[in-house]
Chains A and B, each alone.
Chain A
Amino acid sequence: MSLLEINGLRLAMRSFDGETEVLNGVDLAVGENAIAGVVGETGSGKSLTGLSISRLVPTPPGRYLGGTIRFDGQDLMTASEEEMRRLRGRQIGMIFQDPTTNLNPAFRISTQMVDIALNVAKSDPELIGIQARSSRRARRVAARQRCVDLLGQVGISDPDTRIDAYPHTFSGGMRQRVLIAMALIGQPRLLIADEPTTALDVSVQAQVLELMSSFVRERDLTMIFITHNIGVVAQLCTDVSVMNAGRVVESGDVRKVLKNPEDSYTKELLSAVMTRDTPRPARNRAAAGAVA
């Protein structure tokens, strides 16, 4: 049985020009312990699908026209905001694209992480290794320790002192590691990563990908990896879904889909990936300096 199942999800967004349907019938199934890649070009609805799973699309301007999202048997579309809030961070973790804007600049890393740890510990004190009736102080100490441990595991050196630094003192790659650690505090079963490496340079990208795949392997994690980079999907994912114009056009085992695509859009998308055999584009005369 799949951990997550999305059926016929339809979402409209309101703007000054009226309502536009941005998701028109998304179907997506993610099995337990899978790394499901979601690829597609900009505007195909990948990110909105990811946000919809956590019900983070603001309504209005968004409006759901239909469909179901089942997570571990529970229908998220009918869940109350309070039920959703308990799932977020605890069952469903999220990592976003730009690490420079996703940490609150006015607070120390420790403040942000400890608040999240204390919050998840409210429903499950075991997570930070304390009893339900521990004192406030004991909770704080345990929560901090859990955050320091996680920072160490994502590769922040000297986490015990670095945790008290402000976000702007970290590089982009380090900030993304902090955000990964943050998302892991609640030991979520599903991690939704929305282009987590797009804003990083190539070498850092590889390190962060390596880190994420090791986490999925070691901890009982399922991941949805949203990206437009097919190369990353081929390296990292077990399954892939290709999205176009608010719909999943093809999905399946990653090797099968990338080797023998059936859908015409998937073929087109794959042919757009540059390889060594890709012919060079015709030289632009103006750009080359040959002014006519």
Chain B
Amino acid sequence: MLRYALFRIALIAPLLIGLSMLVFVIGRVLPGDPAGLAAGPYATMEQREAIAAEYGLDQPIPVQYWRYITGVLEGDFGRSLMTRRPVAGDLAGYLPATLELVFFSLFLAILIGIPLGLIAGIRRNSATDMTIAAGTLSAMSMPQFFLGLVLQLIFGMMLSWLPLSGRLPFIVSPPPGVTGFYTIDSLIAGDLTAFRYSLLHLILPALTMALAPIATIARIMRSSTIEVLQQDYVQTERALGLPSSLILFKYVSKNAASATLTLIGLYVGWLLGSTVLVEKVFDWPGIGLYATNAILNQDFNPVIAVTLAIGVVFILANLVVDMLYGVLNPKVSNKQ
């Protein structure tokens, strides 16, 4: 198991080199004039060239890439053309916010999707099943930005139950940074007020992102539950008198959940991508919002850094998922 994990982690390096080359080259060969944009509309030719020289944009692309990649190895992701700040610092601030959102919505998706699918599978073709099917179908077909606006309108404006946007209200100071996740950091600091507020701020954007995964996970879980219910061992468990609640929620659910695991791994990537829209709607200070602004300004260092960060998170998340297969299905862990 440990050897397998190390092998998978070692595989990350070539993947990242490929990914960085791709994004770097595409960023540089795209038409446009980043140095000109950064210098502003009234800059002279000399000022423009000075900025290009400062950022190394006057060098051939292989040289630029080499400089960039050696910098990355030292933790230097270059500087942003627009903010003139080091990208690494920006990333350290924005990435945890996004990850908190992504993992919280993933948590919601699993917490809601798995039981929904299990119940639908157990009560196959009943009114409950039909209701869940109708609900999941409409959830899947709802565009996220629209859903986010509707949720803001209902829960933020009309009912005033939940905050509209941001991570914390201005009057609450963020907890001292340990993980960068406000919910966890505030718990570590023992600051329950900050914990309550950061959780309240998470709910709407996380729900917006989680709704489609909830629906898909529930549908997959439903079909695998139906399949597991027909297995011989379920009949044996019944024949030996185990109560159905124990059979369903312990013995059936564990077998059925392994089918949804692949899906959950893939959703990490999907959720990371969808932060771009959702963070815009909810004004969430994460890398989605950061990347959007950078793309609009042809500011490529942040774009490359965000892409690499998302790549690493995605690969690691799928590594965790692969490890979990071994937990849910003991046959797999033996073969590794």
A-side residues, CB < 8 A to B, are: 54, 56, 85-90, 93-94, 96, 98, 101-107, 112, 115-116, 119-120, 166, 168-169, 179, 182-183, 185-186
User: Does chain A have a CB within 8 A of B236?
Assistant: yes
Whose C-beta in chain A lies nearest to the C-beta of B256?
A106
Q: Report how far A86 CA is from B233 CA in the complex, Å.
A: 19
Given contacts A104-B251, A105-B255, A106-B251, 4 further A-B contacts (CB under 8 A): A54-B239, A87-B241, A101-B231, A166-B330
User: Does chain A have a CB within 8 A of B74?
Assistant: no
B80 to chain A, nearest CB (A): 49
User: Does chain A have a CB within 8 A of B246?
Assistant: yes
Q: Interface readout for B232-245 with A: 1 if CB under 8 Å, 0 if not?
A: 11011111111110
Q: Report how far A92 CA is from B44 CA in the complex, Å.
A: 94
Q: Are A89 and B236 in contact (CB under 8 A)?
A: no
User: Does chain A have a CB within 8 A of B254?
Assistant: yes
Given A104-B255, A105-B255, A168-B330, the answer on whether A119 and B242 have CB atoms closer than 8 Å is: yes
Q: Are A102 and B236 in contact (CB under 8 A)?
A: yes
Q: Are A106 and B329 in contact (CB under 8 A)?
A: yes
Q: Interface readout for B202-246 with A: 1 if CB under 8 Å, 0 if not?
A: 000000000000000000000000000001110111111111101
User: Does chain A have a CB within 8 A of B331?
Assistant: yes
Q: Are B241 and A168 in contact (CB under 8 A)?
A: no
Main secondary structure of the interface of B (DSSP, over half): helix
Whose C-beta in chain A lies nearest to the C-beta of B229?
A58
**Which residues of B lie under 8 Å from residue A119 when comparing CB positions?**
241-243, 246
**Which residues of A lie under 8 Å from residue B328 when comparing CB positions?**
106
B28 to chain A, nearest CB (A): 50
**Which residues of A lie under 8 Å from residue B329 when comparing CB positions?**
105-106
Q: Are A168 and B331 in contact (CB under 8 A)?
A: yes
Q: Are B240 and A102 in contact (CB under 8 A)?
A: no
**Which residues of B lie under 8 Å from residue A104 when comparing CB positions?**
233, 237, 251, 255
**Which residues of A lie under 8 Å from residue B242 when comparing CB positions?**
89, 115-116, 119
**Which residues of B lie under 8 Å from residue A87 when comparing CB positions?**
241
Q: Report how far A85 CA is from B241 CA in the complex, Å.
A: 5
**Which residues of B lie under 8 Å from residue A102 when comparing CB positions?**
232-233, 235-236
Among B237, B241, B246, B330, the residue within 8 A (CB) of A106 is B330
Whose C-beta in chain A lies nearest to the C-beta of B230?
A58
Q: Are B235 and A56 in contact (CB under 8 A)?
A: yes
**Which residues of B lie under 8 Å from residue A185 when comparing CB positions?**
240
Given A106-B255, A107-B254, the answer on whether A179 and B236 have CB atoms closer than 8 Å is: yes
Q: Report how far A50 CA is from B329 CA in the complex, Å.
A: 32
Q: Are A105 and B331 in contact (CB under 8 A)?
A: yes
A115 to chain B, nearest CB (A): 6
Subset of 9 A-B contacts with CB under 8 Å:
A94-B239, A96-B236, A103-B233, A106-B258, A115-B250, A119-B243, A120-B241, A166-B330, A168-B331
